[in-house]
Amino acid sequence: MTSEPVAFTLIAMNEGLIRREAVSDQLFALLRDRILGGELPAGAALTAERGLAAEFGVNRHAVREAVKRLQQARLVEVSHGGRTLVLDWRHTAGLDLAMGIAAADAGPTVEDLARDALEMRACIGADAARLCTIRCSEDTAGEIVEAAGRYARTGPDLTELADADVAWWRLIVEGSGNVAYLLAFNSLVGGTLPVADVPDDLRAAELLDVEAHQRLAAHIAAREAEAAERLARELLSRSVPATPRKAVR
């Protein structure tokens, strides 16, 4: 890493009245973005902990917490006594990192990422609906139908509707009995950005179609797996922007 005069200072303790962020969190975010942005290329060695501490004027313990998180995110590989190496996030990073990628300069934009997340949501959701139809208990099926009924009586506010929609889908994903789907679902809805930058008209086409929600619930209760899957895919695909994307790689 170059040793040019450091222009980065972590946010001061009291930045007006804004909530202060822990230094290790700031440092983690900063290093993460540098890695995702390509400033710290794969294979390169991260500056030593003592060096980073000096560079940012913080204690080494704070640096260690940040690096430990980078390690957990599989962005770096640390070895006792040796150097800490930057990994190729495209090969190692997991889905939980999705929310952080947008900050990268060279990487995908927020729009691309939102679209990717929605695409994945449709894919997982459709299969979850299918599996739920096949595997869930009668009680769960009943709950899903009930929840669809409540959904129909949910206020016209889009935000409120979106929350209810997530809760309803959670029932289906849980009913699929697939823990991997459930965790991926959490990653997708838990990320701050995924649903943030979707055009309202697309989102509304999905959320406002109460009748489709009830129909899907009915398919699940009636154990019509194929119909449930098809409807779920169609419903979830409405929010996916149809932007043709440039060829990759």
∠37-38-40 over CA atoms, to 5°? Answer: 115
Binding of residue 60 to DNA (CB under 7 A): yes
Binding of residue 234 to its own copies (CB under 8 A): no
The number of CA neighbours under 13 Å toward the Cβ of 69 is: 17
Helix (H, G, I), strand (E, B) or coil at 77: strand
By rule CB under 8 A, what string of x and - marks binding of each residue 3-32 to its own copies?
Answer: ---------------------x--------
Determine the Cα–Cα distance for residues 224 and 69; give it in Å rounded to an integer.
44
Q: Which two tokens stand for residue 144?
A: 């899903």
By rule CB under 7 A, what string of x and - marks binding of each residue 223-242 to DNA?
Answer: --------------------
Determine the Cα–Cα distance for residues 111 and 1; give it in Å rounded to an integer.
31
Determine the Cα–Cα distance for residues 82 and 154; give it in Å rounded to an integer.
57
Among 38, 41, 57, 190, binds its own copies (CB under 8 A): 190
Q: Which residues bind DNA (CB under 7 A)?
A: 13-14, 20, 22-24, 46, 48-51, 57-62, 64-65, 67, 78-84
Q: Which residues bind its own copies (CB under 8 A)?
A: 24, 61, 64-65, 68-69, 72-74, 90-98, 101, 107-108, 112-113, 116-117, 119-120, 123-124, 127, 131, 135-137, 139-140, 170, 174-184, 186-188, 190, 245, 247-249
